Amino acid sequence: MIAYLMVELEPVMPTLRRFANCKIAIYADDHNPPHFHIEGRGFRAIVEIESLIVRAGDIRTAAEAMTWASLNQPLLRFEWLRLNRRR
């Protein structure tokens, strides 16, 4: 008799950049509009790539990440499209 273990896989979420207190990542097969995640100890945020508007969460301690994102929007767009081709 063979038993199969059902394992729920978490979505792929490559980390694009790490900072002292947080990281920027993009989920594969995520919902629109194109966005990235900022995650740090005790906080999370979702930020739209095109406008850099914070759609959810708090970024008060993520100024370095937001500065990096503003300077790297083409990379964020490219990674979103690469990971979300079906959207």
- How large a percentage of the chain has pLDDT more than 70? 83
57 and 45 in contact (C-beta within 8 Å)? yes
Strands (E), 1-87: 15-18, 22-25, 35-40, 43-48, 54-57
If you average pLDDT over residues 52-66, what whole number do you get?
A: 92
Structure tokens at 10: 């978490």
If you average pLDDT over residues 37-55, what whole number do you get?
A: 95
- The reported pLDDT for the residue numbered 67 is 96
pLDDT band at 8 (very low <50, low <70, confident <90, very high): very low
Does the pTM exceed 0.85?
A: no
